[in-house]
Structure 1
Amino acid sequence: MEQSNMSLWGTLEGFEDIFKENYSPLFRYVKGIVKDDDQAKDVLSDLFLNLWQQKDKLQINDLKPYLFRAARHGALKMVSPRYQSIELPDDVHNIPADAYNPFEKFVAKQSIRIVEDLIAKLPPLRKEMIELRLLGLKHAEIAEALEITEKKVEYNMREAIEQLTHAINHSSLDKATIAGGLMLINIIFTII
């Protein structure tokens, strides 16, 4: 864990800040695995309780990937013995009611649904990587969360983009609609 975060562990207020900052994206991620609000809450309760109880013993280099990795392990235990495909919950891309008129809101939701359907067709690992990216993790954080190398993340993200591009180019879908959906769900890929 970074030095600045180390001091946060010692106080309840600091721990509360860590909880507040990370709970929402962790909840969306875990719910995508367990498919149930209550089970997702249980996983995160256990995670944060363990984190607090073990705060003096844990050696965490980077908090965000650690939390996602721990949440993933907890969620997979909840749904074991079989790992299920991860799906982002329906409300993850809520569009504010006052942002668009009813027709624009309908078109925006349709654009998002099209992009989500394209993502759903990816192999499970690539789909999970994109979903973690949507939740704000960087390549290095995704690698740490999934316990794989950053090179493997970069390769799979590049391949996912190629698969999505191929699917888009070989479909009858309107490219502007797809571009709008991508922008709305904030997929920002920076593959170097």
Structure 2
Amino acid sequence: MKSKQITHEEELFHNLFMEYYPSLLSFARYYVKDETIAEDLVQDVFVKMWELREQWKGVENFSAYIYQMVRFRCFNYLRGEKLREEMMRSYKEEKLSIVEINQYIEEEIFRLVNQAMDSLPSTYKQVITLTLEGYRVKEIAEKLNVGEETVKKRKQAAKQVLKEKLGKLYVFLLPLI
């Protein structure tokens, strides 16, 4: 297997990396406060430096140039993080308001159903309440000391009143009664 010859350019770049990396890492950490992120940002700068190596060869003050690149890279990262955090906060606030709206709707439906239930004659209300509690027609008839047909008629009449009072909201109550 043939070993690859290291070019003068690669050796120069390696030496620059070894010389500047530790101090650039410390410099980046000052801005981003996270070791791993600072490492990634500094490495990104060195990759960019390698890709644009023809351009920086003519730079008079290389040290100032590379520190400026790291600084800009850190600022770009922080700007992106701030934007991401703002978007997440906005999403959470929006989600919270949707939850609040849904809760309001549930409470309002509950209030309207209770209001409609309260308007029922007491015999109808008893039948519907017991139905909502899970009792069957036969059990309701026994509890109220009436015939099963009477329970069925009261239930049917109560449903009709509720349907008229609740309109389209009646569909929320229908599976329960």
Task: Please report the TM-score for the alignment, with normalisation by the length of structure 2.
Answer: 0.41
The structure where helix makes up a greater share of residues is 2
Higher relative contact order (CA 8 A, sep 6+): 1
Structure having the higher Rg: 2
